[in-house]
Each structure stands twice: as structure tokens, then as C-alpha cells.
Amino acid sequence: MAWTTTDDNDAFLDNAGPFVRERPDENTLLLSLADSLRTAGPGRYGDGVPYYGWWRGPRGAVSAAFIWTPPYPVQLSPMPQEAAADLARTLLGGQRTITGAGGRESAATAFAAAWAQETGGVARVTAHQRLYRLGELVPPSPAPPGAARLATEEDRGLLLDWFAAYHRDMEEDPTDSERALTERLSYGGCTLWQVAGVPVAMASVTRPSSGMVRIGGVYTPNEQRRRGYAGAATAAVSQGVLDAGVERVLLFTDLTNPTSNALYQRLGYRTVEDRVTLALDATPVPTHS
């Protein structure tokens, strides 16, 4: 039982692809990350070289995987705690600085515990998220005024401001906003809800991968909130990908935000699992005389 690591996206997909595709809901982040890096190139998430890996269990089959796009957290598939702890020790042997880990709580905390034991650092929770999958879509009722349209390059300025504001609202680094927007616009992945020709909300979607897409970047400016626009934009994007033949429509919510969780449940989204993101703050290992 050991981890194999690589900076080769194709090698990752050849070896770990069947495992992550077998469970596309739980592995939605790994699937979308691998697809983005394949289509947009290794610089999609910054200057850090992407890193991939897979773990073979006692019977030799791949039963765990990760993707790491420094400086962002290591993203973990569902995995045994033993594999998560072994991965932390494996990655500490490299030259990259581990800043965080995300995944199911059991895996992420096992990774963080092993990392802390080796480094003397401290792990702290930065996000609790819930993953939802769309059952039967229930459009908002009553529907708010307006209509959806696909965003284009002409909307770039507005969307860039909204992407950055969205990341700030989520307490995330907004520096990736322009790269994320460029990628989404390249395949028609951004939708605007507009009223009387004026955009009032947005929602975006990942590229289809293994019959799965994930909706994200749902944002309404402060002055337009509490009017149903975010729900309308989400419903429009959801219906659009269903019409295109996508089987699984997913999204993440912040568990500390009851408003968004209630909204998506009203639209027909059902719980898949909860996840946690941990920041790993390194401190020097104490020395003993």
C-alpha cells in the first residue's frame, strides 16, 4: 500500500481516472480540477506546478486519489484514514509547502493530524460545506421578473467585478477570478439573470465531466438581493445543463449560510455529503535540550 505521485495529468487520469469516475458525485472537485488543468493548461490555478496521486489498497486496486494545485489546499477523494495520513507524510517529503487540505472530514482531519505530528503545526477549520445533487428541479414560484441569457466577452468587466466580490463573500482569495472567468467564458459557462436588460445576478457551471457538472459562482449584488434572482439564475443554469443531457448536477454550499442551503433545497437539490477545509499553519518543531 503506497502513494504514487506525479505532475502528469494524463498519467493521473490513466491510473486514477476509473476510480474517481466511478463516484463522480463525491469526486466532483477532482474531476473538474483534472478537466480544467487538461484544457486550460497547468497554469490554470497559478504558477505552482499541479501535483496528482493515487493510492493502491491491499488488493492492488486504486482506492484513493488527490489533486493539489499550490498554493491552494490539497483536495482529497474519499479515502481510508490510513491513506490520508500516509499522504501527508509523503507530500511533506517534497519541496512544496502544504497550506491546507479539503475533503470528507474523516480524511481531511487524518491528513491534518499526520501533518501536525510531523511539523508541529496547527490545523484550523476554514470552511464547512455541504454537497448537493439535483433531484427533480422545482423552479422558483412565484418566478421573479426577468430572464436568463448566456454571458459573453462583452460582459467581462461586470463579471470580473462580480467574480471577485463572490470570492470575497466566500472569504476566498480573489486573485484567481480572472483565470476562472476566462475559462468559464470559453465554453459558455456563465449565465446572467437580467431585468429590463440590466444584469442583476449570475451563476456559472463547470464543464461536463463523466456526466457531471457543478454549479458555482452564484452571486447577486447587495442592492439586488432578496428578490429571488439568485434562485432564478440557478434554476435556469440547472435546466440548461439538464436539457443538454447532463445526468448529475451538483453544487456546494457553505453550511453556515442557512439562506442558501434552504434555497437550493427548495429548487430540488438533495444532500450528498458534508466536507471540511482545513488551513495548515506551520510552526517550527520545538527542540529539546
Please provide the DSSP assignment of 116-142 as one string. Answer: HHHH--EEEEEEEEEEEEE-S----SS
C-alpha cell at 21: 469516475
Count of alpha carbons within 13 angstroms of residue 244, beta-carbon side: 18
Each residue's pLDDT tens digit, 163-189: 999 988 877 777 788 888 999 999 999
Domain spans in the chain, listed from the N-terminal domain onward: 2-129+276-281, 136-267
pLDDT confidence of residue 63: 95
DSSP reduced 3-state for 268 = coil
Is 214:193 a contact under the CB 8 Å cutoff?
no
CATH of domain 136-267: 3.40.630.30
Residue 283 confidence class, pLDDT cut points 50, 70, 90: low
In angstroms, the Cα distances linking 107 to 26, 80, 163 are 13, 7, 30
The arithmetic mean of pLDDT across residues 190-218, rounded, is 96
The mean of the pLDDT values for the chain is 93
Tell me the CA end-to-end span of the chain in Å, nearest whole number.
37
Q: Is residue 93 scored above 90 in pLDDT? A: no
Q: Enumerate the H helices of the chain as residue ranges.
A: 9-22, 28-40, 81-92, 105-119, 156-169, 177-186, 229-243, 258-266
More confident residue, 243 or 283: 243
Each residue's pLDDT tens digit, 123-146: 999 999 999 999 999 999 999 999
Q: Is residue 288 scored above 60 in pLDDT? A: no
Residue 72: CB atoms within 10 Å: 20
The arithmetic mean of pLDDT across residues 100-127, rounded, is 96
